[in-house]
Chains A and B, each alone.
Chain A
Amino acid sequence: MVRHKIVLHFPHEQVDKPIVSRLVRDFGLDFNILKASITPREEGLLVLEIIGKEKDYERGMAYIESCGVSIQPLSQDIRRNDAKCTHCGACIAVCPTDALRVDRDKMEVAFNDEECVACELCIKVCPPRAMEIHY
């Protein structure tokens, strides 16, 4: 048995299709949905924990990729360079989770990496480039 945490990026036209449910039916895999959202580009974003046999996992992932869904391991580390952040708030408009939110008293933008699904949408949107990817 293996457990993998992954981020799936669904293109616009695949959002409504029952791709993930076939992982259970056709590949005998189990999954937990950790997070799901639609990004500003109208792509679907799904963070899953997948449990099953390594062989089934590999076949399941090959199937998902064949549907045009891209898979990214949830191991990338998104960090904020606090010295660079100007607390402008531009990232708030794109972050699909609560990882970036405004503290309304201080009017500062707080980054909570536990909520971050590493979708990377904030990286290029941040004007002073304070959000960084660490591999």
Chain B
Amino acid sequence: MGKTIEEINERIKRGEAVVVTAEEVMDLVRKEGVEETARKVDVITTGTFGPMCSSGAFVNVGHAQPRMRISRAWLNDVPVFCGIAAVDVYIGATEMAEHDPLNEVFPGEFRYGGGHVIEDLVAGKTLRLRAESYGTDCYPNRHWEKDVTLAEIKEAWLFNPRNAYQNYNVAVNLSDRVIYTYMGVLRPELGNANYCSAGQLSPLLNDPLLRTIGIGTRIFLGGGTGYVAWHGTQHNTRVPRDGEGAPTRPAGTLSVIGDLRGMNPRYLTGYSILGYGASLAVGIGVPIPVLDEDVVRAAAVRDEDLKAPVVDYSVDYPQGTGRVLAEVTYAELKSGSIRLEGKDVPTASLSSYSRAREIASTLKEWISRRDFLLTRPVELLPCADREEGVE
């Protein structure tokens, strides 16, 4: 028994498709079994919402008169990348506003950076563009300032090189002083443990061997629609796996793209991470077509079965030693406390599970309302263990 994406889309168009979230599918499989669930269900929706530093937006700000080949530019004082054509710029999520004290007064607050610029743009706010150039015969203009809004800008696309990490480290601190990391504040001597994944709702943990997700997969992105553009940077599929194939280390990643118009600051939020920098919290939801029973089996995975590596961020992470202190399950992490070296260590998350839930249900609703059709990937993402048949 098997279904094709085309058959699923026909059912969506007729309003007959059965769509469940990755949480609902767990209960369905428990009650009715894999076979019955695979017969009944057409699409499983997933979701995640967390800081994803490798994010940014391409914007074409329109031409000045006289024309200008922008060589340096700022949006609300945050420098943007201009090393491309005349009025195309890239807003990087972690770029800081000029003159920000950074970590000079430690730990720095990093109040306004590229992530905030993107959030403000999507929220419809007016931003100040300042641009400079050296001037050429074809582009004589050297100084330009104007107000810009998303409505007036020619094009604006979110284009994130690395999002939606398939599993992630749990960060702890073995040293005797507080450290401030991209994984949040870590208190000394295993004072707390911070994790950052939606676990059982997370897109790539529900399709561990990337059997359905590929280039061109249409997704929920930042409250609007987007697409998987490519595998993300640092995509690594040669990793230890468990049970139905879920990696027990950070593994696959996605590069995603989508029109900023139609997105929503609720799912695209500028973050200030104390002592570390600015970032952008991104909401992503990936629909998983139920092609066969294996898809269901993998997506029915529970927090109890998903393990994450515990890593020391005082020495091992910064020095890149690769040491893993322990493995813990997402069920343990979400209980609020894990046991490490004979100590009860309180946990906190940086990824919002409640918002991940909201995203999975929103995507479910879009598909049920026939507002969102699935796409057949042009090519699946690379996955060594799938390609070599190691399951």
Collect the chain A residues with CB atoms within 8 Å of residue B185's CB. Answer: 40, 90, 93-94, 125
Collect the chain B residues with CB atoms within 8 Å of residue A36's CB. Answer: none
Collect the chain B residues with CB atoms within 8 Å of residue A107's CB. Answer: 334, 352-354, 357
| Min CB gap A112→B, angstroms | 16
A41 within 8 A of partner (CB): yes
B271 within 8 A of partner (CB): yes
| Min CB gap A37→B, angstroms | 12
A89 within 8 A of partner (CB): yes
Collect the chain A residues with CB atoms within 8 Å of residue B51's CB. Answer: 127
| Min CB gap A133→B, angstroms | 14
Collect the chain A residues with CB atoms within 8 Å of residue B269's CB. Answer: 86, 128
Query: Do B352 and A93 touch across chains, with their CB atoms under 8 A apart?
Result: no
Query: Do B281 and A88 touch across chains, with their CB atoms under 8 A apart?
Result: yes
Chain B residue nearest to A127 (CB atoms) is: B271
Distance in angstroms between the alpha carbons of A108 and B352 in the assembled complex: 8
Distance in angstroms between the alpha carbons of A94 and B173 in the assembled complex: 14
Give the total of A residues in contact with B, Cβ under 8 Å: 22
Query: Do B191 and A88 touch across chains, with their CB atoms under 8 A apart?
Result: no
B274 within 8 A of partner (CB): yes
Distance in angstroms between the alpha carbons of A91 and B350 in the assembled complex: 9
A17 within 8 A of partner (CB): no
Chain A residue nearest to B194 (CB atoms) is: A93
State which residues 61-113 of B face A: CB under 8 Å: 107, 109, 111
A3 within 8 A of partner (CB): no
B135 within 8 A of partner (CB): no
> Which residues of B does A touch, CB under 8 Å?
49-51, 107, 109, 111, 178, 184-188, 191-192, 194, 269-274, 279, 281, 334-336, 346, 348-355, 357
> Which residues of A does B touch, CB under 8 Å?
40-42, 86-94, 102, 104, 106-108, 124-125, 127-129
6 closest Cβ pairs, A-B complex: A127-B271, A107-B353, A93-B348, A92-B348, A89-B349, A40-B187
